[in-house]
Structure 1
């Protein structure tokens, strides 16, 4: 093992130990460092890391070879566990920024749990093959699907949704029907025509059919079919209303919209988190407030004009945010009208939402 100053790291160096930032696991041992990862370490002001020596590499080579052989002997020909771990980390590196996730993934236990689920799912041939096809067909949809898997599974945990692993699979595959949507539509940089929009809407039906053809449970297939339903009946494909829409569909709908708004598309830039939350409240209108309260508390990011209670007992209104650090909003005391800036040490936090 060699301790190396971050400024002296070289592309290809391999981490000796898990690396934590605060209480969050940010890099697994065995991660091969890329330029992007080294740049991120510098941004995080991490002074040095433990790098594997040649002797260390020799020691772990047999383990890695055994791990690879065990998985690749599968008739479905899925990648090795180490490759899946690497994909998991690299996907998070691209999309799991704090200005999007807030503090939702600020716990090493949650990181390891999600990583374990991803390994389990991607070690299943039919899930791996569908996601690889989706990645090749439309990379934006693949990234969005991974994003919804992360946020949706964490949200389901907060909501105590039953069958959480099936829900997590449904999040990962909810947009698989876009494999049947022409790339010319998915890649279009201008507004879709009405006919093109109607074509895109069919991805929900296509997704349901694809998943049923591959013997996924009805629960998972329904998540693909119904995640665009809206409780007032304006959604598709069936125009379901109120009690016809199950809890897991409502949860997925919220995460799906938030993720889509927070990611750049060929026809627009990504929205900031508080703007995304404001649009989300309108897009998923009439979903019970409990879902929004839980989701925003999970992120620790709150929409403008929300009335909140601080851990000090003060009631305040969210009057401004910085898109780069939306979890430190500017507040106004509801009774004294003085501005309150959240301390960086988080000695004062938002305890609960009173109303939007």
Structure 2
């Protein structure tokens, strides 16, 4: 038995003591932890728990048939569960498995793996943001009543790939960008679209990269942009902003879900009205569960 930081709990860790909250046993000792239980423990505000020998990828995990990449995906969710981000977002563990399975399917594509590896090596924050945007976007699209192709959700994952061409000192700069630096970073959507186009990705996915910083009130970039933007492009605009605001960056702290929603709604004329309203309801459900 040893003490383990709640932040670093992983699938299959076996509790050595009951988890008690408000004089009630929430999770019993000897329980091999599943993802929803880990997120629950994190959201209770506990810092440390007693666990037995941690069986990372042991028979407990093999019994659930979790692949290596799914384990990575789950660890990402667990270790980035800020603002009750994932525990209240997912309806149940089956929904997490569904999104994880889709993620796993995408990573069977060697090109996607190479692009994500390049992003990770260049800027870990961009990779984290891309995975978070994929989780939020694909889950939202699954719940909202819109006509979309599931395979286009890869655009959520790769929308920021152009940032691998932006110097790190600009990406991580703690302060106002110069005009020249701003010009460089504003090229990343077009650079990303060109990378994806050259690798044979669909027009929709390329447009999700190229136009995710466009705003429908004629602000944003690049310009000019098509009058009729695909629904997935319009969805990416919203999810990209929300994910960026609610995740920590080297140059600023994350803000709450509520504050991010307030900012989006304040600027609602920049987005497709039915989508911004749909996204507001999608995230608001999460906020109601926290109360």
Question: How far is 1:238 from its partner?
Answer: 2.5
Out of 86, 111, 128, the residue aligned to residue 126 of structure 1 is 111
Larger Rg belongs to? 1
CA RMSD of the aligned region, Å?
Answer: 3.7
1:213 is matched with 198
Structure 2 CA distance for partners of 1:44 and 1:158, relative to 1, 3 Å: farther
1:266 to 220, 233, 250: 250
Post-superposition offset of 1:6: 4.3
Deviation at 1:86, TM superposition (A): 1.6
Do the aligned residues in 1 keep the contact of 2:137 with 2:156 (CA within 8 Å)? yes
User: Are 1:17 and 1:50, in contact at CA under 8 Å, matched by a contact in 2?
Assistant: no
Pairs aligned (count) = 269
- Closer/same/farther in 2, CA of residues 287 and 41 from structure 1, 3 Å limit: closer
Deviation at 1:193, TM superposition (A): 1.2
| 2:92 paired residue number | 107
The match for 1:327 is 288
More helix by share: 2
| Structure 2 Cα separation of the partners of residues 234 and 275 of structure 1 | 22
SS in 2 for 1:232: coil
Q: TM-score, normalised by structure 1?
A: 0.65
Decide whether the 8 Å contact of 1:227 with 1:249 is kept in 2.
Answer: yes
Q: Deviation per CA, 1:231-263: give whole Å up to 9, x if none.
A: 11112112437x522221111111100111111
What are the equivalent positions in structure 2 for 1:287-298 lying under 5 Å apart? 287-298=271-282
Higher relative CO (CA 8 A, sep ≥ 6), structure 1 or 2? 2
Q: Are 1:152 and 1:252, in contact at CA under 8 Å, matched by a contact in 2?
A: yes
TM-score norm. by structure 2 comes to: 0.78
Matches of 1:202 and 1:51, distance apart in 2? 49
Of 147-156 and 229-238, more deviation after overlay is shown by 229-238
Q: Distance in 1 between the 2:54 and 2:253 partners?
A: 40
Q: Which structure's residues are more often strand, by fraction? A: 1
Q: Secondary structure at the match of 2:133?
A: helix
Structure 2 Cα separation of the partners of residues 102 and 251 of structure 1: 22
In structure 2, the gaps of 5 or more residues are 1-11, 20-29
The CA distance in 1 between the partners of 2:231 and 2:67, in whole Å, is 35
Is residue 40 of structure 2 the alignment partner of residue 19 of structure 1? no
- Between the aligned partners of 1:17 and 1:180, the Cα distance in structure 2 is 43
